């Protein structure tokens, strides 16, 4: 199957500059195709992941991915999707972010050398102002630039000359990659259409109208309720495990709406059409089993964090559901209890009633604490405690780092030993 047919079935094509030409190109040869990302932060979030999942599909289909880290463009800021000027970062921060993104992307695309990561700072920083104006500025019509959606949407509130020139710099990237890296296709989000077509226009002016270059964009992804995909009450879902733990990452996918899950399976997994259609049938006939959500969580978490992270996430989920937390590791507790009520305690042993009231504040009074303990409503590290004379020793479990308290059926607390 031609990869464009597969992308169409997955609903992953928004616009193409020349469908027939691109279809024939990717059908006949291995093609260089690029996606760019500016180092505006030190981690990608799942919104960034969308075009890179499509790029990964091209890699698996035998094409050559080229990833551009925008060390040059990122230092001035892309106006796409913004209604105000970006705050410029220091170059030290840009370089730090470049290194972090390079590490993440290498993890996604493998270490076998079947892809390239380049930094546009290497060539953009070599341009003098006069070279920029004479060699490239002359080839861009201001009226055409003003009509690009990315610029037109900012004219009311204003746009600086710096951000106005962004599409020229990105166009230079496409030309450079065409001339030096055998890249013929640029892939991006729907908001990048104006930048992509500007690059194609530049290549045709420099290399001639028959230069075989193409653009492909991906639709803006919205949830079934019309809100933007990838945002949660807690903010962005990051690929960096220190910002969003693998357990939180797994849970994000596991909790997707039935109305969205099949779309996400098509975008974010490499399952076949037959496998996804089977899961779609299960959503219709056995939605309570949430088989599609579970498979989605497994596939995406494994792709980003590895199979061990999936096993850990499932172990944590099962322990929290059953209350059997005693076999969790300290590292798993760090993940699973990250957003639960947490209190700092010392390592000193104490009577359970005093500990629940005076040390942790989990119980509002000693009377209530004694009542809850006596009634079997308190579990310490997964074990029910009914003796009001029992002693809590924080050093007994989890490498002496944590005490897990469950009050009632679902209310968890984490005591962190300092």
Question: Which one is catalytic: 15, 17, 40, 368?
Answer: 40
Catalytic residue, candidates 48, 56, 63, 263: 48
In angstroms, the CA 236 to CA 42 distance is 13
- Whether 40 sits among the annotated catalytic residues: the reply is yes
Q: Which of 204, 228, 289, 384 is catalytic?
A: 228
Q: Is the dihedral of CA 368, 372, 374, 380 positive or negative?
A: negative
Report the relative pairing of strands 235-236 and 231-232 from DSSP bridges.
Answer: antiparallel
Out of 19, 57, 82, 205, which one is annotated catalytic? Answer: 82
Q: Angle CA(353)–CA(358)–CA(360) in degrees, nearest 5?
A: 90
**β-strand partners of 391:** 351
End-to-end CA distance of the chain, in Å?
58
- Give catalytic status of residue 48 as yes or no: yes
| Residue 308 exposed, middle or buried by CB count within 10 Å (0-12, 13-18, 19+) | exposed
CB distance 285 to 260 below 8 Å: no
From the candidates 231, 243, 370, 401, which is the catalytic residue? 231
**Distance from C-alpha of 289 to C-alpha of 194, rounded to nearest angstrom:** 44
231 catalytically annotated: yes
| Candidates 6, 19, 45, 201; catalytic one | 45
Distances (CA, A) of 349 to 2, 137, 256, 359, 402: 66, 73, 43, 10, 13
- Rounded to whole angstroms, how far apart are CA atoms 299 and 269? 6
Assess whether 38 carries a catalytic annotation.
no
Active site residue 197: no
Angle of helix 91-109 relative to helix 291-305, nearest 10 degrees, comes to 120
| Catalytic-role residue among 99, 106, 179, 232 | 232
Among candidate residues 89, 170, 197, 244, the one labeled active-site is: 170
Q: Which of 18, 116, 191, 278 is catalytic?
A: 191
Query: Could you confirm whether 305 is annotated as catalytic?
Result: no
367: annotated active-site residue: no
Q: Is the dihedral of CA 276, 277, 280, 285 positive or negative?
A: negative
DSSP string of 49-99, one letter each residue = HHHHHHHHHHHHTT-EEEEEE-TTGGGT---TT-SSPPPPPPHHHHHHHHH
What is the C-alpha separation between 23 and 16, in angstroms, rounded?
10
Is residue 45 annotated as a catalytic residue, yes or no? yes
The answer to whether the Cα torsion of 284, 288, 291, 296 is positive or negative is positive
Q: Residue 29 catalytic?
A: no
258 is catalytic: no
Catalytic center residues:
40, 45, 48, 82, 86, 170, 191, 228, 231-232
């Amino acid at each position: 199957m031609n990869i464009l047919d597969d992308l169409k079935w997955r609903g992953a094509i928004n616009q193409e500059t020349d469908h027939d030409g691109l279809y024939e190109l990717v059908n006949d040869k291995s093609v260089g195709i690029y996606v760019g990302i500016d180092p505006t932060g030190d981690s990608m979030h799942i919104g960034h992941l969308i075009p890179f999942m499509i790029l990964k599909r091209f890699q698996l289909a035998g094409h050559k991915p080229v990833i551009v880290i925008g060390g040059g463009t990122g230092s001035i800021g892309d106006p796409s999707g913004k209604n105000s000027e970006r705050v410029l970062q220091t170059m030290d921060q840009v370089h730090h972010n470049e290194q972090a993104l390079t590490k993440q992307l290498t993890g996604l695309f493998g270490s076998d050398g079947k892809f390239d990561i380049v930094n546009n700072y290497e060539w953009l920083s070599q341009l003098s102002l006069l070279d920029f104006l004479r060699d490239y500025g002359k080839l861009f019509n201001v009226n055409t630039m003003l009509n690009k959606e990315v610029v037109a949407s900012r004219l009311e509130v204003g746009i600086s000359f710096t951000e106005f020139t962004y599409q020229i710099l990105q166009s230079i990237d496409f030309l450079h990659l065409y001339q030096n890296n055998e890249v013929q296709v640029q892939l991006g989000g729907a908001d990048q259409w104006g930048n992509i077509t500007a690059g194609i226009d530049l290549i045709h002016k420099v290399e001639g109208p028959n230069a075989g270059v193409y653009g492909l964009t991906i639709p803006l992804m919205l949830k079934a309720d019309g809100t933007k995909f990838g945002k949660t009450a807690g903010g962005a879902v990051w690929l960096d495990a220190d910002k969003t733990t693998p357990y939180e990452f797994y849970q994000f996918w596991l909790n997707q709406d039935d109305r969205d899950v099949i779309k996400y399976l098509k975008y974010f997994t490499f399952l076949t059409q037959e496998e996804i259609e089977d899961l779609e049938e299960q959503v219709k006939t056995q939605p309570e089993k949430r088989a599609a959500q579970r498979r989605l969580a497994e596939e995406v978490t494994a792709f980003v964090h590895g199979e061990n992270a999936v096993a850990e996430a499932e172990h944590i989920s099962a322990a929290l559901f059953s209350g059997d937390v005693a076999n969790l590791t300290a590292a798993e507790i760090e993940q699973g209890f990250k957003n639960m009520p947490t209190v700092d305690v010392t390592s000193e042993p104490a009577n359970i009633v005093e500990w629940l009231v005076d040390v942790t504040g989990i119980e509002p009074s000693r009377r209530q604490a004694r009542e809850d303990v006596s009634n079997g409503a308190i579990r310490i590290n997964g074990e029910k405690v009914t003796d009001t004379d029992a002693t809590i020793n924080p050093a007994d479990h989890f490498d002496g780092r944590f005490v897990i308290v469950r009050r009632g059926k679902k209310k968890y607390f984490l005591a962190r030993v300092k």
